[in-house]
Chain A
């Protein structure tokens, strides 16, 4: 029994020295450090695409020039038809420089389109009898699918109140589907109080809010 205890103690001492010896040798060889060999870093690519609403009237003027109502008529009607020469009925104005306004969405968002005029029909012509006078707009797609709106393709009286009338709820910005026409119709009364050169300014407003 005494010798077994002695052997046990001796064994523990041997194990102790062995462990120390192994650890010192291991450290001396520096194995852990030699095993490292990998590194990762990161790079970053950043940019910001600004969102913006922008429209451009690529055709921004309609000019009928000088003219008269044909004799015996109570009015003359002048209206634009897209890119074509304007149509004159019962008068002698020229439609050569009277094609529709063209509005293009040049931003990078869909937007709404509202149109406000500076005058209404009576402001424009001042008919003595307050009849036979019209001033109307007709919004249509120059490029199919550009604009979605309930009054598209219909003649609507101009609106001179603030904000005007909304014609498009979702005017597309993508190339090839981002242009609309604004045609204009004028009915000139024979008893117009406003003579000589007459003009109006229309305001086309785009809003991202839809």
Chain B
């Protein structure tokens, strides 16, 4: 009785394996056909390719460098301001604006993307000294008209706002088409005459591109 049951089970298993084997062979053959035969076809030809979507940004001007300088006496502070691609302007101080131009961010991918920015420092951690005579601010604007098609956080859109140490999405849709894909990030530094942090000072701005929302 038990032997008869085992034989029947083996038969069922054999049939099941054969069926599964046949389906696998058919799928395998179909896949091979799609990948090879269609390209060498006899009556219909297909050319297939996939263009991957790519989010990629490039900071084409990635350093704002004011070099060395001092607050000229008897001023309480000096103001250092970038203005897009023009040389930066230093007032009440003797820094040079030659190498102080706005950061330029370009969408080098092939899809619109969002843009988020953050700094590491604020004015107090940048300079120390009298809080009423110091600023560290940024201003985000289109370098190419219409580059940002949907603004996000607008507090620094074409206006000066304190640098934020947490990421703020300033643009929800940065265009990727050449000629229409670049933005400025300008910076304003107000250096207090009584700065307690002296010597070489710097901050790093993190700029992230993500799939457009």
Complex-state Cα separation, A10 to B207, whole angstroms: 55
Count A interface residues, CB 8 Å.
43
Check A13 for interface membership: any CB of B closer than 8 A.
Answer: yes
Whether B209 pairs with A38 at a CB distance below 8 angstroms is yes
- Asked if B205 and A43 make an inter-chain contact with CB atoms under 8 angstroms apart, the answer reads yes
B52 contacts A30, C-beta separation under 8 Å: yes
Give the distance to chain A from B135, nearest Cβ to Cβ, in Å.
Answer: 13
Q: What's the minimum C-beta distance from A59 to chain B, rounded to whole angstroms?
A: 15
Q: How many residues of B contact A (CB 8 A)?
A: 69
Judge whether B198 and A51 touch: CB under 8 Å.
yes
A162 within 8 A of B: no
Q: Say whether B70 contacts A52, CB under 8 Å.
A: yes
**Contact A47 B189, beta carbon cutoff 8 Å:** yes
Question: What separation, in Å, do the CA atoms of A47 and B94 have in the docked complex?
Answer: 12
List A6-60 residues whose CB lies under 8 Å from chain B: 7, 10-11, 13-14, 17-18, 20-21, 24-25, 28, 30, 33-34, 36-52, 54, 56
Nearest A-chain residue to B195, judged by Cβ: A49
Nearest chain A residue, comparing its CB with the CB of B107: A39
| B17 interface neighbour in A10, A40, A46, Cβ under 8 Å | A10
Q: Give Cα distance in the complex from A175 to B77, angstroms.
A: 11
Contact A44 B205 (CB under 8 A): yes
| A to B contact number (C-beta, < 8 Å) | 172
Minimum C-beta distance from B33 to chain A (A): 11
Query: By the criterion CB–CB under 8 Å, are A43 and B50 in contact?
Result: no
Contact pick for B55, options A14, A38, A173, CB 8 Å: A38
Q: Which of A41, A42, A108, A175 has the most CB of B within 10 A?
A: A41
Is the pair A24, B69 in contact by a Cβ cutoff of 8 Å? no
Known: A21-B28, A41-B58, A108-B198. 18 other contacts (CB 8 A): A14-B20, A14-B21, A36-B53, A37-B211, A39-B55, A39-B113, A40-B209, A42-B62, A42-B204, A42-B207, A43-B185, A45-B187, A46-B66, A47-B65, A47-B68, A49-B195, A50-B70, A106-B73
Residues of B within 8 A of A (CB): 10, 13-14, 17-18, 20-21, 24-25, 27-28, 31-32, 34-35, 50, 52-59, 62-71, 73-74, 76, 80, 95, 103, 105, 109, 111, 113, 119, 127, 130, 185, 187, 189, 191, 193-195, 197-211
Taking beta carbons and an 8 Å cutoff, which residues of A are in contact with B? 3-4, 7, 10-11, 13-14, 17-18, 20-21, 24-25, 28, 30, 33-34, 36-52, 54, 56, 104, 106, 108-109, 173-175
Residue pairs across A and B with Cβ atoms less than 8 A apart, 8 shown, are A10-B21, A14-B17, A21-B28, A36-B52, A39-B109, A45-B64, A49-B198, A108-B194
